[in-house]
Structure 1
């Protein structure tokens, strides 16, 4: 049973071992006053106070005065104080958490109604994240020591902070409670009018011809779906087939499902942003990223069946070049360029229209040789099993190397073709 203790202790000044916290009078502040009517005159905002912390996310305050209140006229409408998040970079590894530091201030102090003394650590299961709820180490009870100090994170991430006992969201302008967000172009307080929307569907499949063909051609193995340029935001790729999505970074290194290895779904750090890879039991896959990307991304598909119908979309800054092309002569082997056709302007309420995307032929230019390192090799340990159906022909393949606890999913790739030729990649089974 949880026992509550009213905070009777005065706020403690920072001691030398807590030198990275500025626990001062500007941090422990009274609740802002709200005026009852409009029409009063405010003074200019004062300068921002020093940040309450040097890392891990602190808070800075800024005050103003209602001049009309001292003149005996109508009072001012609005807030006398505003709060801004500051120094949001994470602290060095091993640094003491701010909430944990506040709990430790009560270590070895007598607690009303409890014999003995205890050491305290944060308890994150409390209903109110802005109460200093601490768990007694080695015991089965916790106490609430009142409000946490202003600038304490509401949770484990840095999206909300506690101010005067209330959990406030940090706006993209870094002001607490401002409710200003980034638009699809990743512009703080924007109106979706500084970027362009691109949306298309990739339709391809294994082909029996090695000559140039239409945009519906494709070969067994890895095929490029599209190139997403640097600076793209709100990226989404969806595949509903038994094929596998894969992702290359701007240096043509696989980061998801590359080299015949199927990765676990999860979050990956790619091109300066977080990429979320999802895969369900029915083989539905998606790759999503908020962006903006720091480099180009190459969306690939490991083809196992025809007509994957991969849908993809992203937003791109309108002031940048909209033509993105990848030349196989750059030394990356059989990588095929994608030609992007005209974009459309974003609107305040985004609507999407499908435009055409042409995937060029998989045949290499005349006289161009295929690099041997671009051909899949005869081994691929698999990291997970997505529940895909396995043909008997797949199960009989004995040349692959598979970690015993892992189940094979992919058919064996063909032998590499002679230099300067393009071999036919056919499905097995």
Structure 2
């Protein structure tokens, strides 16, 4: 029996420890010799051309790292950027990292910043995790010896996004993580449900709830772009759970209906605003928010970037905040600065989440207070198609990927809690 087979069969820790770690493993990866595949002005940089699934070498573990057997993973937009080689090829990250850790500078880059699985090996300095532990991963890869990490790991000079700026990510049968990336798997979730949460849920938590984000309070009106997407689906839940008033922006009647089933009372159809690059559209958006809730947003939840940022700055209330964690529609933002400085608004940059913030949001998930936004699941063999669906925005919520798990629906350890939460809530984003 192989190590992978033993994990799937539910083998005891002693048996997992006795079995050999394979020399190679199956992974979704990029190839360094394919950098330059796309022309700079190519209109459709189809990630299916560059994202491959096949065998890659198994790395050695550092003393503070853990090898996990991945049962399931998920697609994030950083996988799309990686496979497009934008804004720069990720091999540049690996080459830089390779100056201090040569293991990562390879001709293949294994992608993926989410995973759920079983610990199968631990480095000799790892104290809190054991072989056989069921875990989920958080994406921040930091140096624990950097003093600033004790304050906020996201301020570390060498902060890296695992599976994006490091090698050996989660879209694979095995993955290498630091021990400080691990959290207990929520016991009422399946492998694929557990794997889809941490990157987006923790990012949304830091943006809205954490001490370094917008610090939402009860009664705050929060405008959320892409409210049924990977980030937005968690953002809406956090606003509702914290006593805020969510106003979700979506792009179709189907997504609007999903928002209402989530309990979001106010929904805006983005299609009614022709050109969000013009102030007249910003004014109409602001008027629509006031028509719905009677006031301007205290917080605007931003991650779409260039197409919406000017509108976000405009519609935030006097003294309000725009909190941003990304720019899926482009990095070069334009906005009218008069609406920022003269009305004392703030722009808050937010990136990922530190270990404590990940712990807090994983606790909410484990208590059944925040639910997965999983909508579709692909096998690892079709990881490129899964990434393509995200690239084309053909999805809602999160797109999952089964790695070692042979089927969906496995891994539930607390069926009682699952029953109390309810299948309808847990599968809200799945096709009805």
**TM value normalised by structure 1:** 0.23
The answer to which structure has the higher strand fraction is 1
Specify the structure having the higher radius of gyration (Cα).
Answer: 1
The structure that is helix-richer by fraction is 2
Relative to the length of structure 2, the TM-score reads: 0.23
Q: Which protein has greater RCO, CA pairs closer than 8 Å, 6+ apart?
A: 2
